[in-house]
Structures are given as C-alpha cells and as structure tokens.
Structure 1
Amino acid sequence: MSQFRTAKVTRLSLTDFRNHERLSFPVESGMVALVGANGAGKTNILEAISFLTAGRGLRRAALADVARSSGPGSWSVAATVDLDGLETKLGTGLVEGASGRKVRIDGEDVRGSETLLDYVRVLWLVPAMDGLFTGPGSDRRRFLDRLTLSVDPGHGRRVGNFETALRQRNKLLEQGGTDTYLTALEQQVAELGTAVSLARQETVDLLAQTITEQQAQSQPFPSAALDLEGTFERDTAGMNAADREEHYRAALSSGRGRDRAAGRTLTGPHLSDLKVRHAAKDMPAALASTGEQKALLIGLILAHCELTAKVSGMTPLLLLDEVAAHLDPDRRAALFAKLALLGGQVFMTGTDQALFEALPAEAEILEICSGEVRRIAPGPTS
C-alpha cells in the first residue's frame, strides 16, 4: 500500500502516564514489538499512543484514571510523527483540575482531538475485544463507531451530540416537558440519529466491499460477513435521508408515553447492532470457536486498515496487544507478513521475545523493564 501516505512515530514520551513516571525513547522501525513481564507497562505504552488520535483511548478510561497513582494528577503524551518526510510534534494530556484533555500540535493549542486525525489514524486490537461477538450490542456499536471515526473524522462528535440529545429528551419526558420543547428536541434527535446511522451503514458497506476484494487474494484469516441491524434501519430501508429523519421524528413523537414509562427512548439507532458472520461457514460469529472468533476479529481489523488507507489516503498506525500469543507459529508468520504488506507502522506487545521470531529483519524489538526501554533487536547501532 505504498501509494498511501504513511505516518510513523519516531519518538514517544510519557509523563505520569499509568505506571510510567518518565519514559522517552526513539522508534526506528515501522514494525515494533514491545516485550517484557506482565505489569511492566507494555499495554500502557499502546494506550498512550492511542491518545494520539481522536477519542478516549483504547481502554476508554476516564482521563483522571490514566494519571499515575502516586503522581500529581496530571499526565501527558508527546510524540514526534513523520508524515511525508515532515516532522510534526503532537502532544496531549490532562492538566490537573481540567475536565478535558489538552491537545497541542507543534506547541500550539488546538481545540478538540479531531485535528489529530490530519496527522495520524490509530487502530487497535486488544484482549478486551475478544468477547466482541458474544458480548452486548453496545460493545459492537462502540466498535463500529470507532471504525467509522477513522474514515469519517466528524463521526465521533456526531455520536456524542446524538447521545446528549437523547439524554435531554429522556430527562424532559421524566420532568414533564412541554410539547414545544419536546418537538424541537426530537427534531434534533432525528437529524443526528439519521446521520449516525447513515455513516455507520456506509462504513459497513465499504468494509464489506474491501473484504470481498480480499477474498480474491490469499488471506491468512477468515472473512467476515457484516450487516447493520436494527428496527430503525429495517423500517427506513430504501428511504432518503430526509424521509428517514421524518420517520424517526414521527416515531419519537408517537412513542412519548411508552418512553416516559420505560424511562428511556425505545427506538432509534442507539439500539442498532453490528452483526458479524463467519463467511466461509455461514454461521454467526458468536457461535464460532474461540480461536475462530479471534481469527475473524484479526481479519476484520486488517481489512479495516486497508479501508482506512483507501478512504483517508493515509495508512493507519496499528496497535496489537498480546495478539501473537494466541496464534500458532504459521498464523503468526502470516500475520507479520500481512502487516508488512499493509505498510503502516505497527506496535505489538508480548511477554516472550520468541513470539516475534518471524518478524521481518528490519523490525525492532524493545524490552520494557523497570520504567526503561532497551533495544534488543536488531541490536545496538554504532
């Protein structure tokens, strides 16, 4: 995928982030393995990198919880990113007493984290996602929204505004708000909800197309069949955006009594679900074996990497936490080869250096130990 722009982190610095008081190190390769004992802080480094893009990071943690437990309550992540041969310094963090995280680009404060998407797109696969196919629909909605954000930078704010409008409507219903206020708010809910649903559907369609194109190639992981399912999507299928908004607005208006009794809004895209099937076996992913589910998820993330590059023109930075430990040697080698073909920068973690024996020669292995980073492969440079 060399035709796409590639952003690479060349230096990373953490201050009072999780268990790291001070940590700063250069990154010299496009494929990096972080090894070390459990508790050394390998995943924390991945989480720090995940804050270099829009959103709440790979753990979706409260910002205050990210700060080092014995630290001052603030934290920061800084990175030098090379994009098209030009270096940009990205920084983000929490100032003690502040409610949101600050973002700086080349030393200048910027408003909102969406601007970071102009410099780097970050995707990840972490062990907490292993139950994605068997867990609640809310997990899959968040997963899909994360996928959508990487190809549509405005999606995160759109989802946030939609959820806020829904909460406001629920509160008005509880407090007996007037019809005038409810009508105005329901119009806003309908507009935002329709936009959220359409953006999700576009991502599902584009991802399905990418997976179909991959099936013509030799792929080391099984293909997934995808669909966005929900009452809203079913009832508005074939409608244009304006008609969908009107349908949703009417449903909200007529459902006030029911929603008031339930204490929540019972119809809309906030209840939709991403349905995933094992394409070759034509079976729900939730019914596949644990190993098959892991392989499906990896294949889905790899397909999304390709889609992100096609849509944004930039290869995403990929974070893979403990992924190699769950694959046999042949699958590990196939994964590393596929990652090399994708062309974007990859950070992986593992407790055992032997898990990364099949990495390309140019890959870098860094040992995380006692708050320090030591380069152990390909070896010290002169």
Structure 2
Amino acid sequence: MTEFRTARLTRLSLTGFRNYTTLTLPLTAKLVAFVGPNGAGKTNILEAISFLTAGRGLRRAALADVARKDGDGSWSVAATVLLDGMETKIGTGLAAGTPGRKVRIDGEDVRGSESLLDYVRVLWLVPSMDGLFTGPASDRRRFLDRLTLAIDPAHGRRVGDFENALRQRNRLLDQGGSDAFLTALELQVAELGTAVSIARSETVGLLTQMIADQAAQDLPFPHAAVSLEGAFEAETIGLSASDREDAYRQMLKDGRARDRAAGRTLNGPHLSDLKVQHAAKSMPAAQSSTGEQKALLIGLILAHAELTAKVSGMTPVLLLDEIAAHLDPNRRAALFGKLDTLGGQVFMTGTDEALFEALPGDAEVFEIKDNGSRLLRGVTAP
C-alpha cells in the first residue's frame, strides 16, 4: 500500500488530559506499542489520538469528562503530522468554561473537526467493541457511520443533521404542529435520511469488495459478509435517490398518527442495522464464538483500513487497544505482519512487553508508568 499518501505522527503532546498533567512522545516508528499495568493510562493515549479526527473520540466521552480531575477543566492534544514530506501541527482541546472543542492547524483556529481529515484519518478497535455483534443495532449503526466517515468526510455532519431533524419532527408531532410545518420538516428529514442511507450502503458495498480481495491474502482471520438491512432499505431497494426521497416523505406523512402515538419516528434509516455473518460458516456473527467474533472484527478493521487508503488516497492511523492479549502467537505474528504491510502508522496497547516480541525490528515499544513514558525498544532507545 506504499502507493498511498501516508500520514505519520512524529510528536504527540497531551496537557490536562485524563491522568496526564503533561506528556510528550517523540515518535519515529510506523508500529508503536504502549505497555504497562492496567490503569497506567495506555488507552488514554489512544483516546487522545482519536481526538485528532472528526467525531467524539473512541470513548464517546463528554468533553468535560476528558479533563484531568484536579485540573482547571481544560485539556489539549497536539501532534506534528508528517504528510507528503511536510510537517503540519494539528491540535484540539477544550478551554475551561467554553462549549465545544477547539481545533487548530498550524496555529490557526479552524471551524469544525472535519478539517482534520485532510491531514489524518484515524480508525480504532477497542475492547468495548467486542460485543458489537450481540449488542443493540444502534452500536452497529454508529460503527458503520464511523467507517463511512473515514471515506466520506461529510457523513458525520449529515448524520448529525438527520438526527436533529428527526428530533424536531418528533417534537412537532407531540406539540400538534401544523401540516405545513410538518411537510416542510419531513422534506428535510427525507433528503438527509436518504443521503445517510445511500452513503452507508456505498460503504457496505465497497467493504464487501475489499473483504473479497482480502480473502486471497490467506490471513488467519475469518471473513465477514456484511449487509445493510432495515424496513427503509427493503421498501426503497432499487429506487433512485430522488424516488427514495419521495417514498420516504410519503412514509413519514402516512405514519404521522402512528409516530405521534409512539412518541418517535418508527420508520427510516435511523433504525437500519449492519448485519454481519461469518462467511465461511454462513452463520450470524452474533452466534459465533467469542474468539471468532474478535477475529471477525479484526478482519473487518483491516479491510476497512485498506478501503480507507484506496478511497481517500491516504493510509489511516490505526488504534488497537489490547489487540494482542487474546490472540495466539501465530495470529499475533500474522497480524503484525499485515499491519506492517498496510503502510500506515499503528498504535497498540498491552500489559506485557512479551506480547509484542513479533513486531518488526524498527517498531517502538514504550513503557507507560506513573503518568509518564520510557522507551523500551526503538531506534532512539539507549
């Protein structure tokens, strides 16, 4: 994948973030591991990196909750990104007493975190996602939306606008709004909802093709079959975008009485689900073993990383929290080998340095302890 642009963090600085008063990490390697005891703050470093892209970070935490507990309520994450041979300083954070996080690029304030996608794309796999296939559909929609955002920077704002329009419609139904107001609002809901559904469907289609291409690579991870399912998709399958909008508007109009009684909108892309199957066994992922579900997730993330590079032209930064703990040595070695060939930068965590013995020789391993770091392995190690 070396034909793609590669964004690499060469320096990371945290201030007032979670358990860190300050932390600065000079970075030189493509593959980086953070090791140390539970509670040392390894995942906090990954979360900090996840704020260097659009969205709410890998924990989806409230911004105020990210600030150090004994601090003044502010926090910041800054990084130097090397892209196309040029270094760019990007940063984000929260100023005490102000709403919303601020974003800066080379010292200049910019509007919206989507601007960060021009410099770095960040994907992650964390233990909280282990129950993705057995959990509620809302978790899988959010997962799919994040996958879509990595290849379509406008998707996040589109989803937010759609959800806001739905809330306004529900409120208007509850308050007995006029038909004229409802019609105007439903036009907006239909346009945004259709665009959201089409973007998700395109991501699923592209991901399906990438998984098929990956099947020839003989990786020790099962391949997933993915599809987008829901009443809205079933009722609008084969329709053009404009016809889908018309059909959705009619659904909304016809369902006003039912939705008013329910207190919510009962049909639309906000209820769709990402269905995942273990392809070789033709079995729903939710019915697979815990180990198979983890392996399916890893395979999906690897396929999506390749898809992101192919569509955006930029290899993503991967954050893999506790990725090696539940893999046997052969799968760990295969995973590290695949990550190395992806071309992008990868940050991993684990409790034991031995879990990362199979990393390539030019990888870096940092020990995280006592709110600080120590380089155990790497080109600048003593």
Q: Using structure 1 for the length normalisation, give the TM-score.
A: 0.99
Q: Where do 1:87-236 residues align within 5 Å? A: 87-236=87-236
Looking at structure 1, the residues matched to 255 and 282 of structure 2 have their Cα atoms a distance apart, in angstroms, of: 37
- 2:285 matched to which residue of 1? 285
SS of residue in 2 equivalent to 1:216: helix
The 8 Å contact of residues 63 and 101 in structure 2, kept in 1 or not, is answered as yes
- 1:19 matched to which residue of 2? 19
SS of residue in 1 equivalent to 2:7: strand
1:362 maps to amino acid: D
Deviation at 1:217? Answer: 2.1
- 1:340 matched to which residue of 2? 340
- 2:261 matched to which residue of 1? 261
Deviation at 1:220? Answer: 2.1
Looking at structure 2, the residues matched to 25 and 2 of structure 1 have their Cα atoms a distance apart, in angstroms, of: 25
SS of residue in 2 equivalent to 1:280: helix
Q: Deviations over 1:247-281 (max 9, x none)?
A: 00011011000000000000000000000000011
SS of residue in 2 equivalent to 1:144: helix
- 1:77 matched to which residue of 2? 77
Looking at structure 2, the residues matched to 227 and 120 of structure 1 have their Cα atoms a distance apart, in angstroms, of: 28
Looking at structure 2, the residues matched to 70 and 260 of structure 1 have their Cα atoms a distance apart, in angstroms, of: 46
Looking at structure 2, the residues matched to 325 and 266 of structure 1 have their Cα atoms a distance apart, in angstroms, of: 41
Gaps of 5+ in 1: none
Deviation at 1:380? Answer: 4.5
- 1:318 matched to which residue of 2? 318
Pick closer, same or farther for the CA change 1:372–1:230 going to 2, 3 Å: same
1:66 maps to amino acid: V
Q: Deviations over 1:313-370 (max 9, x none)?
A: 0000000000100100100000000000101000000010000000000000001111
Deviation at 1:84? Answer: 1.2
Looking at structure 1, the residues matched to 381 and 332 of structure 2 have their Cα atoms a distance apart, in angstroms, of: 27
Looking at structure 1, the residues matched to 9 and 247 of structure 2 have their Cα atoms a distance apart, in angstroms, of: 46
SS of residue in 1 equivalent to 2:87: strand
The 8 Å contact of residues 18 and 67 in structure 2, kept in 1 or not, is answered as yes
Looking at structure 2, the residues matched to 302 and 27 of structure 1 have their Cα atoms a distance apart, in angstroms, of: 23
- 2:359 matched to which residue of 1? 359
Q: Deviations over 1:279-317 (max 9, x none)?
A: 011100000000000000000000000000000000000
Looking at structure 1, the residues matched to 301 and 381 of structure 2 have their Cα atoms a distance apart, in angstroms, of: 34
2:137 maps to amino acid: G
Looking at structure 1, the residues matched to 301 and 92 of structure 2 have their Cα atoms a distance apart, in angstroms, of: 26
Deviation at 1:33? Answer: 0.3
Aligned-pair RMSD on alpha carbons? 0.8
- 1:295 matched to which residue of 2? 295
Gaps of 5+ in 2: none
Q: Using structure 2 for the length normalisation, give the TM-score.
A: 0.99
Deviation at 1:25? Answer: 1.6
Give the share of equivalent positions with the same residue, in percent.
74
1:342 maps to amino acid: L
- 1:305 matched to which residue of 2? 305
Looking at structure 2, the residues matched to 363 and 82 of structure 1 have their Cα atoms a distance apart, in angstroms, of: 17
Looking at structure 2, the residues matched to 37 and 238 of structure 1 have their Cα atoms a distance apart, in angstroms, of: 53
Q: Deviations over 1:202-238 (max 9, x none)?
A: 0000000000111122122110001000000000000
Looking at structure 2, the residues matched to 340 and 221 of structure 1 have their Cα atoms a distance apart, in angstroms, of: 16
The yes-or-no answer on 1:374 pairing with 2:379 is no
Looking at structure 2, the residues matched to 328 and 127 of structure 1 have their Cα atoms a distance apart, in angstroms, of: 17
SS of residue in 2 equivalent to 1:13: strand
Deviation at 1:378? Answer: 3.1
Bigger CA drift: 192-201 or 22-31?
Answer: 22-31
Looking at structure 2, the residues matched to 257 and 185 of structure 1 have their Cα atoms a distance apart, in angstroms, of: 16
Q: Deviations over 1:101-139 (max 9, x none)?
A: 000000000000000000000000000000000000000
Looking at structure 1, the residues matched to 266 and 47 of structure 2 have their Cα atoms a distance apart, in angstroms, of: 34
SS of residue in 1 equivalent to 2:11: strand
